[in-house]
Amino acid sequence: MAPPPVKRSAWATPALLFIAAIWGTTFSLLRESLRAFHPVELMALRFTIATALLAAIYAPRIGRMRGQWIRDGLVTGLAAAVGYLTQVMGLVTISASRSAFLTGTYIPLTPFAAYFILRSRPGAGEGLGVALAFAGLCFFSAEAGFSPKPGDLWTLACAASFAVQIVLTNIAARRSDPVAVTLVQLALSTVLGWTCVAARGGFSTPWSAVPWGVIIYLAVVATTIVLVLQTWALGKTPPVRAALIFSLEPIFAALFAAAFFAERMSARELWGASLILAGVLTSELWAPAKAWLRTRVAARRAEG
């Protein structure tokens, strides 16, 4: 069944900004947590708690889930799960800053994913916004560098998966219940996480060493709440514009690290942040500015 047209909402952009801010807080928390236990163990625990919580809330409606909702959840969940898995696989061999930069390449990849899946081309404002945001991302993470190491390739696969997920979720959220889609996504990621844990020989970290406060925050706020909100908001926002708003994540991450971990932004990072903001503003204001200019030109012609 083809999805209905995108129905815009005034709350979609603030919701995506909130999501980017929450994801920004997870960067330093994940970095600290990975010192305590393996990435796939973190993924398994995080998604198990998130799935159980959302299933408990959604329980009265689980029996009424439609086949289309489940299919959409499986398709989008597969893209998301592959993204999460390849990201943690990359984090085993590369630094967090390098991972953040390479993951951010989903920004220029999203327009290509939108074209191949939806046959939609970004407008001039979105195209310019993507270019500015990616240039800013390069400035922001210039010290990360790039070379074709295994960790780099895993993380590039993560970026491609996230780009596809943004586009597929845009389709799914227009024809399916966002909470149902998110629940299936979480369940699939949980299964994948525990499958990876089993492949490693089981959960090896002592339960007393698990940073439960961080895990609960990641599961409840950064996963359950954020993914339900993301599924809804992506159904109200063109994929390329959503990717541009998500490009603010490293800025929120730097602000969070400065506030709580005494880290400071370098001059290069400030330039990068400025370019990312310019990209987002260009995308958001291009159409209104173009319409205003067209109106002014028409008015002057009428006066003359």
pLDDT in tens, 165-204: 999 998 998 889 988 999 999 999 999 999 989 998 999 9
What's the average model confidence in pLDDT over 33-42?
A: 83
What's the average model confidence in pLDDT over 1-13?
A: 65
Distance CA 261, CA 263 (A): 6
Distance CA 148, CA 21 (A): 30
pLDDT number for residue 217: 94
pLDDT number for residue 18: 93
Sequence-distant (≥ 6) Cβ neighbours of residue 54 within 8 angstroms: 179, 182, 183, 186, 224, 228
pLDDT number for residue 98: 65
DSSP state of 144: G
Distance CA 23, CA 6 (A): 25
Q: Please state, for a pLDDT cut of 90, what percent of the chain lies above it.
A: 25
Reply yes or no on whether the pLDDT at 229 is more than 70.
yes
What's the average model confidence in pLDDT over 219-230?
A: 92
At 97, which amino acid appears? Answer: S
pLDDT number for residue 250: 72
Band (274; pLDDT cuts 50, 70, 90) = confident
Band (40; pLDDT cuts 50, 70, 90) = confident
What's the average model confidence in pLDDT over 45-49?
A: 95
Band (206; pLDDT cuts 50, 70, 90) = very high
Reply yes or no on whether the pLDDT at 208 is more than 60.
yes
Q: Please state, for a pLDDT cut of 70, what percent of the chain lies above it.
A: 88
pLDDT number for residue 7: 61
Distance CA 24, CA 21 (A): 5
pLDDT number for residue 134: 79
State how far Cα 113 lies from the chain centre: 15
pLDDT tens digits, 62-76: 888 888 999 999 999
The domains of the chain are located at 12-303
What's the average model confidence in pLDDT over 27-49?
A: 84
Reply yes or no on whether the pLDDT at 6 is more than 80.
no
At 188, which amino acid appears? Answer: L
> Could you please report the per-residue DSSP string of 179-206?
HHHHHHHHHHHHHHHHHHHHHTTS--S-
Reply yes or no on whether the pLDDT at 280 is more than 80.
no
What is the biggest distance separating any 2 CA atoms in the chain, rounded to whole angstroms? Answer: 80
pLDDT number for residue 32: 76
